[in-house]
Amino acid sequence: MASVDLRDNNLLGISWVDSGWVPILNPGNVLDYFSERSNPFYDRTCNNEVVKMQRLTLEHLNQMVGVEYILLHAQEPILYIIRKQQRQSPTQVIPLSDYYIIAGVVYQAPDLGTVIGSRVLSAVHGVQSAFDEAMSYCRYHPSEGYWWHFKDQEERGIFLI
């Protein structure tokens, strides 16, 4: 069986949970939970792994350069937001993606482009459906021209366009 590289795939449609951790999740251990080996969202080459292997505290992440994960927000006991970010300097970071944990289930938060694209697609689909329905009432004959024919209309009205 071939392995699938999830870093190249869109992770918005998947979720991950380790039910053994769910009852004990808290702001102090949620990053440990997120860094489980079976979590497809976690990048093993991040600075958090270096800090963990060297048994340093998370405060050392501020002096490192590279990808890191931080706990952005916690609303105990059900919601935690983890941010993946690229640290450029001790004071400059670039957010890469956000993940939310609801009742122990990890999801990737969609980026703004994905949300706007989805909304535009929904709007265009609605407009296309309305246009298709309007076109179903439009009739044409070479000698009479165009007219509208509605199902509840008894006689055909001729409206030249």
Tokens of 142: 């070479």
Band of residue 6 on the pLDDT scale cut at 50, 70, 90: very low
What's the pLDDT score for residue 9?
A: 62
Is the confidence at residue 44, as pLDDT, over 90? yes
Per-residue pLDDT of 48-81, as tens digits, reads 999 999 988 888 888 899 999 999 999 988 999 9
Q: 14-109 — its CATH code? A: 3.10.450.580
Highest mean pLDDT among 41-45, 137-141, 142-146: 41-45
Residue 8 or 67, more confident: 67
Q: What local confidence, expressed as pLDDT, does residue 120 receive?
A: 95
Q: Quote the pLDDT of residue 106.
A: 96
- For residues 84 and 44, the answer to whether their CB atoms sit within 8 Å is no
Q: Where are the domains of the chain?
A: 14-109, 113-148
Per residue, what are the HEC states of 59-95? HHHHHCCEEEEEEEEEECCCEEEEEEEEECCCCCEEE
Whether the pLDDT of residue 134 is over 60: the answer is yes
**Entry pTM:** 0.70
